[in-house]
Amino acid sequence: MRSTQPPTVATWLLKQFGCSPQDEAVLGDLMERYRHGRSRLWYWRQVLIAIAVDVSRVVWQDKVRTLAAGVTGCIIFAFYRSPSDRPLFQSISLQMNFASMQFQIPPSWWVYYGMYCFLLSFLTAIMGLIVGAFSGWIVAKFQPSHRVPIVLMFVAFLCGYWLFSLSFSIVKSGLVGVGIVPGHEIRSLLFLPFSLLPWVASIVGIFWGSGLLEGHQASSGT
């Protein structure tokens, strides 16, 4: 039997990232229609559209400041690059992964190597968290009353830049550019969580630093 409670995560997302004073009424309407038979998928779709509409409305009203905030945040991240000419945050563990496979580390060493990669990835993640928190804090300062849409746009800028960097790397070097070693595809994929951790930590850092993880009151349009 279908639960009478709408998806909790979706509700939390709208409460957290919605920035219209009408969001409480929107949530009430969504719950009412959900209880009258609408699907969970419908509820999710409605929540995502409501957030997108809220964000685009505020961003459109404050284009210049949003752009300035996004560019400033990206500049802060651009200073934090991995040592070689690789995409931002393609972590050192990927490069070590590649190096180890080139030199064919003996299988008995793989446990130690895994631990080493985990440590490296953990340290990179901590750095990502700190850089993310700092950039999130700066970006939120651009327009404290509209920090939610501005920070969400910054995260969208950054994800766009990361995707562009990854695509560029793949075009330039093939799958090796993202750490997938030919002949060792499965083993390479095992390192994926190590590579993703710093990226995720950076995003969490941005939300944390900008204060978006705390409860907030819708502030725009009032």
- Contact flag: residue 28 with other proteins (CB under 8 A): yes
- Contact flag: residue 53 with other proteins (CB under 8 A): yes
Of the residues 12, 32, 78, 119, which one makes contact with other proteins according to CB under 8 A: 32
Q: For residues 91 and 84, is the Cβ–Cβ distance under 8 A?
A: no
Of the residues 17, 19, 46, 212, which one makes contact with other proteins according to CB under 8 A: 46
Considering only 17-25, 120-128, 129-137, 204-212, which stretch makes contact with other proteins by CB under 8 A?
17-25
How far is Cα 106 from Cα 156, in angstroms, rounded to an integer?
Answer: 42
What ranges in 21-146 are assigned the alpha helix state H? 23-35, 40-61, 63-79, 92-103, 110-141
Q: For residues 76 and 134, is the Cβ–Cβ distance under 8 A?
A: yes
- Contact flag: residue 182 with other proteins (CB under 8 A): no
CB 207, min distance to other proteins, A: 21
Neighbours of 160 (CB within 10 A): 12
CB 25, min distance to other proteins, A: 4
* End-to-end Cα separation, the chain, in angstroms: 41
Residue 125: name the closest of 147, 162, 95, 93 by CA: 93
- Contact flag: residue 26 with other proteins (CB under 8 A): yes
Interior angle at CA 165, CA 162 and CA 166, nearest 5: 85
Q: For residues 131 and 80, is the Cβ–Cβ distance under 8 A?
A: yes
Nearest CB to other proteins, comparing residues 72 and 219: 219
Considering only 31-39, 66-74, 129-137, 162-170, which stretch makes contact with other proteins by CB under 8 A?
31-39
- Contact flag: residue 93 with other proteins (CB under 8 A): no
Of the residues 27, 94, 140, 206, which one makes contact with other proteins according to CB under 8 A: 27
CB 44, min distance to other proteins, A: 12
Residue 135, classed as helix, strand or coil, is: helix
- Contact flag: residue 62 with other proteins (CB under 8 A): no
Nearest CB to other proteins, comparing residues 50 and 88: 50
Nearest CB to other proteins, comparing residues 51 and 125: 51
Q: For residues 82 and 89, is the Cβ–Cβ distance under 8 A?
A: yes
| Contacting positions for other proteins (CB under 8 A) | 20, 22, 24-33, 35, 45-46, 49-54, 57, 221
